[in-house]
Amino acid sequence: MAVLNDLDIKLLEHFRGYVVKKDLVRSVKVGANVPVFVLEYLIANSCSTDDDEQIRKGMDNVKKVLSEHYVNPEESALIHSKIREKGRYKIIDKISVELDSKKDLYWAKLQNSNIKNGNISDDLVKQHEKMLMGGIWAIIDVEYDPNIMIGQTIYPFVITDIKPIQLSTFDNSKIIDKRKEFSKDEWLDIVLRSCGYEPTAEDVSYRIKMLLLARLLPMVEANFNFIELGPRSTGKSFVYKELTPYAVLISGGQGTVAKLFVHGSTGKVGAVGQWDAICFDEATDKIFKDRDAIPLMKDYMESGSFSRAGAGGEITGVASIILNGNINQPVETVLQTSHLFSPLSDEVNSDTAFLDRLHFYLPGWEMIKFAPKHFTSNFGFSTDYFSEVLKSLRRVTYTDALERYFSLGAHLKQRDTKPVKKTVSGFIKLLHPDGDYTKEDIREYLVLALEMRRRVKEQLKRIGGMEFWDTNFSYIDKDTQEEFFVGLPEEKGSHLIENTPLSPGVCYTSTSNGDNTALVRIEAIAVQGNGKLNITGVNNTEVKENIKNTYHYIKANEKSILSDKHSLKNYDITIQVSNLLGAVISSGIGAAVYISIVSALYKKNLKAGLAVLGNISVGGAIERAINFEDKVTMLSENGAKVIIVPIDNLAELANIPPSVLGVTDVPFYQNSQLLLQKAILLD
């Protein structure tokens, strides 16, 4: 018996005839130049079983059918002869139909057989209308009748029956009805296996799964602008090339106005009106052949429409735009010297208006390089069924789903909220096609959406400066009113201090005993209580004394520092001290503790990449930081973007290397009130 896991058995139980064992497809594909969906159709019909003998017989049948009936283009003359000699012959080919209005009849065109004017009845056309929309692959019965003439011309080929291989009609109610039989994790694995991936391979983490899934977003969301840049061999274009007949790949430099938008003389609408997705493969080379294609593309990516002189007004389309390309250097190196759009071709890599229209930047450098173990041998949906499912999902939308639970932070502009909502909508369609999802599902997709759009904005900030400074993306939980900020993994890089607004209660500082400098994280946690102070993570008596002095200073000056509602007598405060780098923690952390306690009580975020130097005496005096240069340098090298320092250290600023001051702001404070103003992130 074939070894099937529980998920295979469930799939066969609920979707028999619509699923196929993906390794069988690969075994035949190696020896036959046949479209994947043709193979999968035949295999799904012959091999949807767990019986080894039945699978073997089914595969023999598939090979027999292909050898006898699949038409290779070079065999077209032979096929014409076979149809004539036998009078009737069954072939596998792509059939399309056009209406000849002058003769008031339909003509069938068989692609590989090179039959251009086949007779076909109105009834067959009505049964399979997709033949009028670019054509379908089918098993076709063709008869030969030399008596059919129009004028002096014989049109002998007659299409008498069609059995579609691509689905000629589609109903997605089965997917919606059966989704409830599977857990979310099971469904995610099914979707990935339907793409040919093996989600249980050891180096495929949950994040990798979600990134692989994200490649399908342009297929379920109309007018979705997507970019993925990363190393070679990560399968960037595979989805759009092999998994759907509704996407088209355009090679570098071939993007013309006529091909993409509208033909100048005929007025025929181009690819944006004909396809669900247009993928520019190798977008690191030249993308557009015509210079004037760029402004049209900008209009289209913004609104889904464009205007062209002589084209008869505004033209709309639903095609999503995908840019794929290679990054050949480590992402850390690119970020040190440039920006993450720099690998794109010169025509667009600094065009902020063009780049700002991208909704989703997938970090291709995180993707696995595909090896045999990453291709599944389990069951997944057949490619044709799966592509129809994806297409059907474009007709529904969940762009308002997040608003039930969350609102978006102040830094998101209109051009940011639209991509975020479309991304969340797309993930819901892919993982919850029945519309049954939870608040935590939405939170997960929202965090991903904010990350992918923020990646676009961070690079625009590097290119275009202050126009794009609003990059501290966040969302607010409507139930708790808590605000959560979403950062980028690559922006943190090897830094220990995150370049995102710090959570309430978290602050960084540095200590030094003259010989050793340490990088220290302070976290204050405030819970309803009776005024207790707990200190964890440190045994040094002097450091504990720092913390207690700061706590008592706040307590003694509550009326000027805190409101009645936030009085220390109503809270238990825990101070967690963590040594992130360096040998030992020394004293001098009072100012950071002060900021941590107050922000924890008020649930206020602190500025991105914030660190604080200096100490506060029990009487409130601000004490200068010793070994100032070493501390500032250590904090800056580990990611600090703002280091607030005592005014008494002002004279020592001249000793700080220009390379440090170029990446880190060093403002001064002379009292605790000013310190607070400079540390808190304003709403």
Mean pLDDT of 45-62: 73
pTM (two decimals) = 0.72
Asked whether residue 430 falls in the same domain as residue 473, the answer is: yes
384 and 533 share one domain: no
Q: How many other β-carbons are positioned within 10 Å of the β-carbon of residue 443?
A: 17
Establish if 1 belongs to a structural domain: no
- Mean pLDDT value across residues 202-207: 92
**The two three-digit tokens of residue 332, written as one number:** 């850390």
Q: Which helix (DSSP H) or strand (DSSP E) does residue 608 occupy?
A: none
Task: Tell me, yes or no, whether 482 and 499 share the same domain.
Answer: no
Q: Distance between CA atoms of 380 and 544, rounded to whole angstroms?
A: 59
> Which of 445, 471, 490 is the last residue in one of the domains?
490
Q: Is residue 278 part of a domain?
A: yes
pLDDT at 66: 81
Report the alpha-carbon distance of residue 187 to residue 180 in Å, rounded: 10
Q: How many CB atoms sit inside 10 A of residue 518's CB?
A: 20
User: Residue 492 has what pLDDT?
Assistant: 62
Last residue of a domain, one of 116, 136, 164: 164
The mean pLDDT value for 80-101 works out to 92
DSSP at 585: -
Is the residue at 242 inside a domain? yes
User: What digits encode the pLDDT tens for the residues 235-279?
Assistant: 888 888 878 878 888 876 567 787 888 876 667 787 888 889 999
**Per-residue confidence (pLDDT) for residue 131, from 0 to 100:** 84
Residue 640 host element (H or E): none
Residue 594 lies in a domain: yes
Give the C-alpha separation, 379 to 186, whole Å: 12
User: Quick one: 220 and 336 in the same domain?
Assistant: yes
Structure-derived torsion over alpha carbons of residues 83, 87, 91, 96, reported in degrees to the nearest 10: 80
Residue 133 confidence (pLDDT) above 80? no
Q: What pLDDT does 657 receive?
A: 85
Residue 1: pLDDT band (50, 70, 90) is: very low
Q: Are residues 486 and 613 in the same domain?
A: no
Rounded alpha-carbon distances, angstroms, from residue 204 to 26, 319, 452:
21, 30, 20
Half-sphere exposure of 260 (CA within 13 A, CB side): 33
Q: b/e per residue, 399-432, with b = 16+ CB within 10 A?
A: bebbeebbebbebbeeebebbbbbbbbbbbbbbb
Phi, psi of 135 (to 5 degrees): 100, 165
User: Residue 92 sits in a domain of what CATH number?
Assistant: 2.40.50
3-state secondary structure 64-99: HHHHHHECCHHHHHHHHHHHHHHCEEEEEEEEEEEE
Residue 683 to residue 674: CA distance in whole angstroms:
17
Residue 165 is predicted with a pLDDT of 76
On whether residue 506 sits in a domain, the answer given is yes
Residues 227 and 357 in one domain: yes
The answer to whether the beta carbons of residues 493 and 335 sit under 8 Å apart is: yes
Give the residue among 537, 662, 529, 538 at the shortest CA–CA distance from 600. 529
Is the pLDDT at 626 greater than 90, yes or no? yes
Q: Residue 270 pairs with which residues in a beta bridge?
A: none
How far is it, in rounded angstroms, from Cα 344 to Cα 283? 6
- What distances in angstroms separate CA 563 from CA 35, 504, 598, one per listed residue? 71, 17, 11
**pLDDT of the residue at 495:** 73
Per-residue pLDDT at 539: 86
Domain count, the chain: 4
Pair 198, 209: CB distance under 8 Å? no
Q: Same domain for 385 and 405?
A: yes
Band the pLDDT of 310: cuts 50, 70, 90. Answer: low
Backbone Cα Rg of the chain: 32
Rounded CA separation 197/175 (Å)? 20
Look at residue 515 and tell me if it is in a domain.
yes
> Which of residues 474, 490, 506 is at a domain's end?
490
Dist CA 360 CA 357 (whole Å): 9
Tokens 């799939």 — which residue? 11
Distance CA 590, CA 618 (A): 10
Reply yes or no on whether the pLDDT at 19 is more than 70: yes
Query: Alpha carbon 183 to chain centroid distance?
Result: 22
Whether residue 294 contacts residue 348, with contact meaning beta carbons closer than 8 Å, is answered with yes
Task: Please give the angle made by the CA atoms of 391, 48 and 63, to the nearest 5 degrees.
Answer: 95
Residue 168 has pLDDT above 60, yes or no: no
149 with 190, same domain? no
Q: Is the predicted pLDDT of residue 24 greater than 80, yes or no?
A: no
For residue 674, give the nearest of 627, 604, 612 by alpha carbon: 612
User: CA 361 to CA 323: how far, in whole Å?
Assistant: 10
2 pLDDT above the threshold of 50: no
Residue 461 lies in a domain: yes
CATH of the domain at 335: 3.40.50.300
Q: How far apart are CA 116 and CA 96, in angstroms?
A: 10
DSSP 8-state secondary structure symbol assigned to residue 643: E
Average pLDDT for 174-200: 95
Q: 328 and 352 share a domain? A: yes
- Residue 255's pLDDT is what? 73
SS (H, E, C) 448-484: HHHHHHHHHHHHHHHHHHHHHCCCCCEEEECCCCCEE
Q: pLDDT at position 74, please?
A: 87
pLDDT tens digits for range 478-523:
999 888 888 888 876 557 888 888 989 999 999 998 778 889 999 9
What percent of the chain is predicted at pLDDT more than 90?
53
Q: What is the pLDDT of residue 493?
A: 56
The whole-angstrom separation of Cα 500 and Cα 535 is 26
The token duo for 256 is 């013309």
By the 8 A CB rule, do 647 and 678 touch?
Answer: no
Per the DSSP assignment, residues forming a β-bridge with 527 are: 572
Q: Is 657 helix (H, G, I), strand (E, B) or coil?
A: coil
DSSP code for 560: H
pLDDT > 80? residue 36: no
**Token output for 126:** 């009505």
DSSP states along 11-53: HHHHHTTTEEEHHHHHHHHTT----HHHHHHHHHHHH-SS-HH
- The answer to whether 262 and 315 have CB atoms below 8 angstroms apart is yes
Structural domain for 293, as ranges:
172-490
Task: Assess whether 181 and 287 both reside in one domain.
Answer: yes
Q: What is the pLDDT of residue 309?
A: 59
Q: Residue 99 CB: number of other CB atoms within 10 A?
A: 12
- Interval 443-465 mean pLDDT: 91
pLDDT at 46: 66
Reference 92, options 135, 47, 158, 38; nearest CA is 38
Q: Within this chain, do residues 102 and 63 fall inside the same structural domain, yes or no?
A: no
Band the pLDDT of 43: cuts 50, 70, 90: confident
- Sheet with 571-581, strands from edge to edge, namely 533-536, 571-581, 517-528, 506-512, 610-612, 642-646, 668-669
State the CB neighbour count (10 A cutoff) for residue 119.
19
- Average pLDDT of the residues in 180-204: 94
The residue assigned the tokens 């943190």 is: 492
Question: How much is the pLDDT for 166?
Answer: 60
What CATH number did the domain enclosing 501 receive? 3.30.230.10
Residues 186 and 127 in one domain: no
User: Per DSSP, what are the bridge partners of residue 269?
Assistant: 262
Within-domain flag for 433: yes
> Computed from CA positions of residues 45, 49, 53, 54, in that sequence, does the dihedral angle turn out positive or negative?
negative
* Average model confidence (pLDDT) across the chain: 88
